[in-house]
Amino acid sequence: MPPLFILTLKFRLQGCSSLKEKRSRMASFLAKLKKENISVIESDFLNQHQESEITIAKLSINNSALNRDLDQLLSFIDYHRGDIELYDYQVERYN
């Protein structure tokens, strides 16, 4: 089995007053993520309008490429998240 990581990210959306607003603010960020050859789902806080959790899975060819992909993805997330606060994340690696 090729190495993979599962990245779980928790976000805070300050000032969101509805689920519709939350979905709107998260939509462009999620669209950008989905272009990065990864699998992405909204995994928790589905009915809370000021928090969101997404889980990302990524396969790679070897461990060094996996580490590089994770570093690049974390930088990408930091750059593209806009005013969405990332307050926690967890990485699980499988070799």
**Which segments of the chain are extended strands (E)?**
4-12, 39-44, 51-59, 85-94
pLDDT band, very low/low/confident/very high, at 95 (cuts 50, 70, 90): confident
Q: Is the pLDDT of residue 91 over 90?
A: yes
pLDDT at 92: 96
Count the neighbouring beta carbons within 10 Å of the beta carbon of residue 9: 22
At 57 the pLDDT is: 96
> Mean per-residue pLDDT for 66-78?
94
pLDDT for res 77: 94
User: CA angle, 47 as apex, 46 and 50 as ends, to 5°?
Assistant: 90
Q: What is the DSSP letter of 1?
A: -
Write the pLDDT tens digit of every residue in 9-57. Answer: 999 999 999 999 999 999 988 998 888 889 999 999 989 999 999 999 9
Average pLDDT over residues 65-86: 93
Strand 85-94 relative to strand 39-44, pairing: unpaired
CA nearest neighbour of 81 among 1, 6, 11? 11
Residue 11 is given by DSSP the state E
Reported as type and span, the H/E element at residue 74 is: helix 63-80
| Tokens representing residue 33 in the block | 């993520």
Residue 94 pLDDT exceeds 90: yes
